[in-house]
Structure 1
Amino acid sequence: MANGDIELAGLVKRFDGTVAVDGVNLKVPDGAYCCFLGPSGCGKTTILRMIAGHEEPTAGEILIGGQNVVGLPATERRTAMMFQSYALFPHLSVRDNVGFALRVRGQSKTQRNKAADEMLEKVRLSALADRLPGQLSGGQQQRVALARAAITEPRVLLLDEPLSALDEQLRLEMRTELRHMQRELGITFIHVTHTQLEAIALADTVVVMEQGKIRQAGPAREVYGSPRDRYVAEFIGGQNVLSGKVERVNGASVEVRAPDHGGIFVPLPAQRKLNDGETVDLAVRRDHIRLLRPGGDGLPPGTNSVGARIDAVEYQGSFVKVMLDVAHVPGFVVYVPEKDFFADPFEVGDQALATWPADVSRLLASS
């Protein structure tokens, strides 16, 4: 079977003078699960449509398995797309829906029924093969749509916001289903979403986009835990971002003085050059921060801290989300383990000290 690795090289798309995709370069290995993530209008769906052949790029190349497919009709690219709406034929059985593409290709009823039944077994819908789509749940309809897309043996399966129409519980179930199917089929999945947790949960590679450009691409854990810049840190979530001026560079660390706060220490990345007085951004994960009562024992060496007031408390089950009012730092949030929080619970209006080891801070690149 032909290789399903994808390379986007200098990809540009303009619509009436508006740049929707602006010089995108990306490589996706064969058999990977890649999620494009970003707000509405960032260009992610336009890229999906260009890979599929539903839009032609203004400039650049799209290589699938080493072949430049720009200019090829969609039917010759060996890609398949699964849409939000599923677009199942209401008057056809599940089996006939799945085998419809093979019918268009002229295969006999015996051939396409055999292939459809094999695909339905993979998505665990064999018992429902004779039902109509209206007799299925939303999750079952989605599996039918997935099977119909996969039956043509595409090199690449393209998914446009496939979970957006589902309720929360079904969305969680279908995330597991999609990952299972991707491993079962062994083909490249390109999945477009605006939901951060969906991308992090599913993808081998997460591609964060803004205004037609890639801001960061990499493994899910890397993008979540080590965001490149302020935009990625704030969009992905799970991080608090602080700004300040460089007070002092001391070998492998730098002291940053934030307004109305003392010095905050952060490791200095190799090759990063900073000047005294330069404004920088730094991030610390919400789950790496501890909340302490003011006036307690002194902090251990190498610990950063900022004073705060408890603004809101939300119980999340395994942890408690605590929103803090921190001077000059909007949206400061701490995830406190449930057991730790309720051992000495804070109330709204309480004063607190948010603390974290200096070595878990991360200096962000300039946006």
Structure 2
Amino acid sequence: MIVGRGHIELAGVCKSFDGGTLAVDGVNLKIPDGAYCCFLGPSGCGKTTILRMIAGHEEPTDGEILIGGENVVGLPPIARRTAMMFQSYALFPHLNVRDNIAFALRVRGLSRAARRDAAEAMIEKVRLGELADRLPAQLSGGQQQRVALARAAITEPRVLLLDEPLSALDEQLRVQMRQELRRMQRELGITFVHVTHTQLEAIALADVVVVMEKGRIKQAGAAREVYAAPTDRYVAEFLGGQNVLSGRVQTVNGSKMRVAALDASEIEVPLSAGRRVAAGERIDVAVRRDDIELVRPGTPLPADVTALASRVCAVEYQGSFVKVMLDAAGGTEFVAYVPERRFFENPVDVGEVVLATWRVERARLLS
């Protein structure tokens, strides 16, 4: 099989630290050449350890790491042709932008003229031409990040690794730098592997999102697939945007089933293709928050709509939508994202009883 130079494959990768702590537990993953991949998960889930193992700063206890079809376990970072951009940026305070960017080439022994030419070309790519003679202290946070990115990219790595690169930025700058990272990745055409604990950051940037828990991959796939079609409760709840209900199957009728939620309210749920369930089985069901509509009790409902009686706990204005938090299904937290205009045309108040409704086909049975 022919693979691109930046194609990454993790095969049965494990990492244990002193004392027997298992940080990464049997990870198998393929990242296509030229993809933008985000590892997403809470602190301690193993995502940064995987990044460091790809880079060559840690070695796996077991398993193989292949880049471009080559097993790189045991090779130093320079031989792997990987580059890493750290969260702190680690710029040299006494060097200007041009010299910071060219520093890696200086270490590799390139001539002064070759370093300067490569640095000037990279400066233009990251749009820092007017700032080339400034010191890091004279730059904004976003400009410093572009310098760090350019310094990592100038070595022409086949894989660029980013360890929570946006965490130190304010929200507005973080959004701008997301766009900058994506633009740079497309222009450079190399594989980016990015570690973050921020859900929105991952789904905004990545071609491939990898959700991790306790050293294992819970789900990996395209951003929309992972967000809109989570496979289990952990992924649905961690990514947000989904309500998760637990219940017990009452009846199964062809492609649908009736499920008793925790307060004994029955909801109708579509049965996934190839999935078999039996009456009495306990299941989890996900419904996207933006698929929920709120109506008053007694409102006639179409046949393809299911509903839960709920009490409004809190209302938060979010700008383009209103977040309505509900006490539904025997105390289970349930949230509706109501478009702003629709909410203010027919607002609800805290303490009010409403029906949380959604089209039956929008519910998803979790594994």
Unpaired runs of at least 5, structure 1: none
Between 107-116 and 264-273, the greater mean CA deviation after superposition: 264-273
Question: What residue number does 2:52 align with?
Answer: 49
C-alpha contact (below 8 Å) 2:248/2:282 kept by paired residues:
yes
Question: What residue number does 2:208 align with?
Answer: 205
1:99 counterpart SS class: helix
Matched, 1:259 2:265: no
Question: What residue number does 1:360 align with?
Answer: 362
Amino acid at match of 2:228: G
C-alpha contact (below 8 Å) 2:250/2:259 kept by paired residues:
yes
C-alpha contact (below 8 Å) 1:241/1:329 kept by paired residues:
no
Shift of 1:262: 2.7
What does residue range 230-309 of structure 1 map to in structure 2 within 5 Å? 230-296=233-299, 298-309=300-311
C-alpha contact (below 8 Å) 2:261/2:329 kept by paired residues:
no
C-alpha contact (below 8 Å) 2:265/2:329 kept by paired residues:
no
Question: What residue number does 1:313 align with?
Answer: 315
State how far apart, in whole Å, the 1-side matches of 2:263 and 2:83 are: 55
State how far apart, in whole Å, the 2-side matches of 1:81 and 1:254 are: 50
Question: What residue number does 1:36 align with?
Answer: 39
- TM-score, normalised via structure 1 length: 0.98
C-alpha contact (below 8 Å) 1:261/1:306 kept by paired residues:
no
1:235 counterpart SS class: helix
Shift of 1:327: 3.4
Matched, 1:13 2:15: yes
Identity percentage of aligned residues = 72
Candidates 92, 95, 98, aligned match of 1:95? 98
Pairs aligned (count): 364
Shift of 1:329: 4.7
1:208-227, Cα deviation, whole Å (9 max, x unpaired): 00000000000000000000
Between 200-209 and 344-353, the greater mean CA deviation after superposition: 344-353
Candidates 343, 346, 349, aligned match of 1:344? 346
1:209 counterpart SS class: strand
C-alpha contact (below 8 Å) 2:7/2:32 kept by paired residues:
yes
State how far apart, in whole Å, the 2-side matches of 1:5 and 1:267 are: 38
Unpaired runs of at least 5, structure 2: none
Candidates 57, 71, 76, aligned match of 2:79? 76
Amino acid at match of 1:299: L
- TM-score, normalised via structure 2 length: 0.98
Structure 1 segments, 4+ long, off by >3 Å, are none
C-alpha contact (below 8 Å) 2:4/2:33 kept by paired residues:
no
2:200 counterpart SS class: helix
Question: What residue number does 1:86 align with?
Answer: 89
State how far apart, in whole Å, the 2-side matches of 1:163 and 1:229 are: 28
1:349 counterpart SS class: coil
Question: What residue number does 2:333 align with?
Answer: 331
Question: What residue number does 2:140 align with?
Answer: 137
C-alpha contact (below 8 Å) 2:249/2:278 kept by paired residues:
yes
1:82-103, Cα deviation, whole Å (9 max, x unpaired): 0000000000010000000000
What does residue range 54-69 of structure 1 map to in structure 2 within 5 Å? 54-69=57-72
Shift of 1:2: 6.6
State how far apart, in whole Å, the 1-side matches of 2:290 and 2:27 are: 33
Candidates 186, 192, 213, aligned match of 1:183? 186
Between 257-266 and 55-64, the greater mean CA deviation after superposition: 257-266
Alignment RMSD (CA, Å)? 1.1
What does residue range 98-137 of structure 1 map to in structure 2 within 5 Å? 98-137=101-140
State how far apart, in whole Å, the 2-side matches of 1:264 and 1:351 are: 18
State how far apart, in whole Å, the 1-side matches of 2:120 and 2:162 are: 23
State how far apart, in whole Å, the 2-side matches of 1:130 and 1:104 are: 20
State how far apart, in whole Å, the 2-side matches of 1:94 and 1:36 are: 30
2:89 counterpart SS class: coil
